[in-house]
Amino acid sequence: MAFVLIHGASFGANCWDELIPHLCAEALATDLPGRGTRAEVDLGTVTLADCADAVREDVEAKDLWDVVLVGHSFAGVTIPRVLDLIPDRIRHVVLVSAVVPPDRSRVLDQIDPGVRGLVEQSIANGVYHQTREGAAAMLCNDMDEATAASTLDRLADDSAALLSEAVNLSGYGREIPRTYVHLTRDQCYVEELQQRSIALLRPNVIDLDTGHMAMISAPEKLAAVLNAIHG
């Protein structure tokens, strides 16, 4: 049994560093293409299918079974593709303030208009680059100064194409239990949008009183949720 952790946009696997020591089982944090262990990949070429393939590759390389698959934020559109690739390896899906827009829509069309403006201003030459100032406003509202600085130091560029690619949610049709961790102080994927995702997925819902980066700002709280699901 193991946790497999999928980061969201503008981060890599190291966003889970504070959480992993508190988990009750082996944890694999995957770097999606274009950052961390896959930094050699040209961000301009990355697709959602590439992201799912990266997760599959890592899971198969370690031959993990009975997996609790955890996705944060933008990973909500990577997870269903992973479920289509390796459904027999996944026991439970946990979505942490995960972006789940309507099937075949674009993520960019579904995010909060205020946040969307910041996102669009951060795109140039096919790359999505968050500034520290913009990210601080969206991601660090529940953090002290040192924790916020540590979070912002981990910002990574991302593929702008992922925001405009039509999503494929067919994997969510599989009979795999799922839980949505609703973050009540999230200023990035705001309340209305989290509720839309919850309505689409009809998961079990657990509330956490944190901002968007719960794995950094409240790792013990999030770990307690995940460990209870793992059993």
> What pLDDT, in 10s, does the model give residues 8-53?
999 999 999 999 999 999 999 999 999 999 999 999 889 999 999 9
Structure confidence at residue 134 as a pLDDT band (50, 70, 90) = confident
Instruction: Taking residues 185-211, report their average pLDDT.
Output: 96
- The total number of structural domains that make up the chain: 1
Rounded CA-CA distance 135/118 in Å is 9
pLDDT band at 124 (very low <50, low <70, confident <90, very high): low
Amino acid letter, residue 92 = H
DSSP annotation of 184: T
**% of residues, the chain, pLDDT over 70:** 94
pTM above 0.85, yes or no: yes
The average confidence (pLDDT) of the chain is 93
Residues 68, 64: Cα–Cα separation, whole Å: 10
CATH number of the CATH domain containing 121: 3.40.50.1820
Residue numbers of the domain that contains 25 = 2-230
Q: Any alpha helices (H) in 20-166, and if so which ranges?
A: 48-61, 79-85, 107-110, 113-121, 132-139, 145-152, 161-164
